[in-house]
Structure 1
Amino acid sequence: MALRSKRSQAPKPIFRSKHADDYSGVYCEECGSGESPGELLLCDKCDKGFHLFCLRPILVSVPKGSWFCPSCSKQKMPKSFPLVQTKIIDFFRIKRSTESTQKLSQGKQKILGCGFKKRKRSGSLVMSKKRRKLLPFNPSEDPERRLEQMRSLATALTASGTEFSNELTYRPSMALRSANQPALEKGGMQVLTKEDVETLNLCKRMINRGEWPPLMVVFDPEEGFTVEADRFIRDLTIITEYVGDVDYLKNRENDDGDSMMTLLHAANPSQSLVICPDKRGNVARFINGINNHTQEGKKKQNLKCVRYDVNGECRVLLIANRDISKGERLYYDYNGYEHEYPTEHFV
């Protein structure tokens, strides 16, 4: 499991071990403390105790079913996906066309060609920045490097048992597409401009054609799977859309999924929606959260999570909130304006 939080409007989770009655004399093998017994988890094989927040990567909730400590599970580095072009292209269902690629390039030049020179600055720097247009990501020029980037994501998705998807999906017994109504958002939802919708659609088409975002998914023993910038990324660049199965929050309040994301925060709680990328998802599933309780944690935040009304449908975008250097890991604040999830043990 990677270090990711459950982003939802559910009440703060209460950590309870399946061995709640066996705490007497139990100490955490990592920190040696018996404090915070409600966050102690016992291994189903050796019965040793571990705080959820002392594990690496941290567990954000008690896993369903049996759980084994690092020593008993003998966790190893995930097996890399084969670096074979046909396998990677089939995995991501990429379809190439010279004519389509040329049109794609022309469309990107049209969007980027507008630039910012004609814009008149007015008011504060913050106000000026808010009015700037979103930018499409800039793929790596080297096709072999793009294959490496795709392989890194395929490795992470395969290891987590997740099918690749770059769209919101609506499954039987979950929320219907008709339930995704931005008008239900508590306090209203900002509408993505026509120009920015074109940029988002361009990003989608580039991915479908193999023009991959410059991102590398790596495995870190401390954080689990995490994402790094594989080239310089400019401020306000669209990194990715947060996708997965759409469900009602009321169906997921007791779910231990570690990557749920708020999609619709409705005035009526029964209408609130979340994105669940545990079965289907993309690179957003592996972008990690930061400790928003400290200045050091906040300094690491280089992305912002924004929910938009896109042509009458709620969508979630991860966008660069400053220039990002090559090799820099991507982090954002899962709590956003809600401040409802305890992130004090995050990176």
Structure 2
Amino acid sequence: MAPSSIPPAPGSQPQLGAAEPARGRKFRSLKEIMKVTKRVVAVENGEECGGGGNYYSRVACEQCGSGERDDELMLCDTCDRGYHMLCLRPIVARIPIGPWFCPACSDDNNRPLKSFTQRKIVEFFRIQKSGELTGKCASPQDAKKRRRRSIVFHKKRRRLLPYISSEDSVRRLVQMRSLASALTALSMEFSNELTYAPGMATKLANQAIFEDGGMQVLAKEDIETLELCRAMYGIGECPPLVVTFDSCEGYTVEADSPIKDMTFIAEYTGDVDYIKNREQDDCDSMMTLLLATDPSKSLVVCPDKRGNIARFINGINNYTPEGRKKQNVKCVRYNINGECRVLLVATRDISKGERLYYDYNGYEQEYPTHNFV
């Protein structure tokens, strides 16, 4: 008889993990395994917490210390600490989709951001080669000459100034990488245009003649400045701005070099929709585009799916002394070739490292038409 078929001695128990021949291995039955397996007692819900009930029923807000309003209590996906939606700064208007991290766990150094190579940045912003825009984009020196001519013939008029991009190409990549990372984190696409998606407002609805009381018309030279900045962006010469993340304010925009007063910062872009369709939204980062005589035709810009760096420039309450001190950008709606557009312009000289804020409380009321044209 072959050795592998010899039966075990009477009363002997096979040992778990003992070496056996590769061929003819005898496996233990389930009944034998159950005899030597330790028993595990199921613990009732809450007993693992020391008899104090379910852990999640005892979570309190780290800000106010209250465990009430549990339907508004959000738990961090990293540390499991809780925060009420209204106790956070800025407040959270609705439960976020996907993972959520508390202010302590979402610091700049720990926040995972997608890394972009130079090639990916070029593809993300659809940057064109310089040769493709020859003749379309004037140099900054030409822009300075045009500004000097404007000063000579229109000394009493304040004109928009084109932004001056960083001379260092590596620094420009850093600036564009910060914007691309922020847009990707919010699942947004880059767009420097107003877009009209199906189911929202049509392009025919965006007409300046519908504005209640009329809308100021952007001067021809300022339109040229706007087109110059658009062409500069198309070849990778972006504004000297970086997008950073703050645990209290969220994404913010900082000046990466000094910016002069009346410099064009960005145009507010995104999907155009009727205000009546957005009445139930949290109004996060939406911008008024058209206040029509007929309220049903009023429009708003919604940068929730598409947008540019204007999406991350924070609004501030200008009714407080602190707000007036921090405000350095104005937000004005213009009639540009019969279409309503929203421009962000520097209101004073901005130093490097300073964050950008505009007034969101009736942003046009303090700036009469004659100050800009």
Q: Output one character per residue of 1:6-46: Cα deviation in whole Å (capped at 9) or x when no partner.
A: xxxxxxxxxxxxxxxxxxx99753134799x8xx9323798
Q: Does the 8 A contact of 2:116 with 2:181 survive in 1?
A: no
Highest relative contact order (Cα 8 Å, sep 6+), 1 or 2? 1
> In 1, distance between residues paired with 2:97 and 2:247?
23
Query: Match for residue 41 of structure 1?
Result: 72
> What percentage of aligned pairs have identical amino acids?
59
Q: Does the 8 A contact of 2:62 with 2:81 survive in 1?
A: no
Q: Does 1:90 align with 2:123?
A: yes
Q: Does the 8 A contact of 2:136 with 2:231 survive in 1?
A: no
> In 2, distance between residues paired with 1:252 and 1:321?
30
Query: Match for residue 79 of structure 1?
Result: 112
> In 2, distance between residues paired with 1:239 and 1:172?
29
> In 2, distance between residues paired with 1:269 and 1:70?
39
Specify every segment of 5 or more residues in structure 2 that has no aligned partner in the other structure, as ranges.
Answer: 1-57, 366-373
Distance 1:169 1:117, change over 3 A: closer
Distance 1:147 1:338, change over 3 A: closer
Q: Does the 8 A contact of 2:266 with 2:345 survive in 1?
A: yes
> In 1, distance between residues paired with 2:131 and 2:241?
24
| Displacement of 1:101 | 5.2
The one of 79, 84, 97 equivalent to 1:50 is 84
Which amino acid is the alignment partner of residue 218 of structure 2?
A: L
> In 1, distance between residues paired with 2:202 and 2:229?
26
* Secondary structure at the counterpart of residue 94 of structure 1: coil
Q: Does 1:29 align with 2:62?
A: yes
Q: Does the 8 A contact of 1:260 with 1:277 survive in 2?
A: yes
Query: Match for residue 213 of structure 1?
Result: 239
| Displacement of 1:92 | 0.6
> In 1, distance between residues paired with 2:179 and 2:283?
19
Q: Which segments of structure 1 move beyond 3 Å, counting only runs of 4 or more?
A: 25-29, 31-35, 44-49, 62-69, 73-78, 108-111
Q: Output one character per residue of 1:107-146: Cα deviation in whole Å (capped at 9) or x when no partner.
A: x43332132541565xxxxxx4xx2110111000011110
Which amino acid is the alignment partner of residue 59 of structure 1?
A: I
> In 2, distance between residues paired with 1:148 and 1:34?
43
Q: Does 1:243 align with 2:269?
A: yes
The one of 86, 93, 98 equivalent to 1:61 is 93
Query: Match for residue 187 of structure 1?
Result: 213
Query: Match for residue 228 of structure 1?
Result: 254
Tell me whether 96-105 or 165-174 shows the greater mean CA deviation.
96-105
Which amino acid is the alignment partner of residue 127 of structure 2?
A: I
Q: Output one character per residue of 1:40-69: Cα deviation in whole Å (capped at 9) or x when no partner.
A: 9323798956251x313x126234779967
Which amino acid is the alignment partner of residue 253 of structure 1?
A: E
Query: Match for residue 109 of structure 1?
Result: 141
Query: Match for residue 341 of structure 2?
Result: 315
> In 2, distance between residues paired with 1:296 and 1:172?
42
| Displacement of 1:246 | 0.3
* Secondary structure at the counterpart of residue 326 of structure 1: coil
Q: Output one character per residue of 1:179-211: Cα deviation in whole Å (capped at 9) or x when no partner.
A: 001111111110001110111011111101111
Query: Match for residue 46 of structure 2?
Result: none
> TM-score by structure 1 length?
0.78
Query: Match for residue 33 of structure 2?
Result: none
Specify every segment of 5 or more residues in structure 1 that has no aligned partner in the other structure, as ranges.
Answer: 1-24, 122-127, 340-347
Query: Match for residue 21 of structure 1?
Result: none
> In 2, distance between residues paired with 1:81 and 1:49?
26
Q: Does 1:302 align with 2:334?
A: no
| Displacement of 1:272 | 0.3
Query: Match for residue 15 of structure 2?
Result: none
> In 1, distance between residues paired with 2:163 and 2:260?
8
Distance 1:298 1:34, change over 3 A: farther
Distance 1:86 1:68, change over 3 A: closer
| Displacement of 1:74 | 5.5
> TM-score by structure 2 length?
0.73
Distance 1:240 1:120, change over 3 A: closer
> In 1, distance between residues paired with 2:81 and 2:242?
37
Query: Match for residue 153 of structure 1?
Result: 179
Which amino acid is the alignment partner of residue 31 of structure 1?
A: C
> In 1, distance between residues paired with 2:236 and 2:310?
17
Q: Output one character per residue of 1:145-170: Cα deviation in whole Å (capped at 9) or x when no partner.
A: 10000000001000011011010000
> In 2, distance between residues paired with 1:171 and 1:193?
29
* Secondary structure at the counterpart of residue 72 of structure 2: strand
Query: Match for residue 152 of structure 2?
Result: 118
Q: Does the 8 A contact of 1:78 with 1:155 survive in 2?
A: no
> In 2, distance between residues paired with 1:120 and 1:84?
45
The one of 198, 209, 213 equivalent to 2:224 is 198
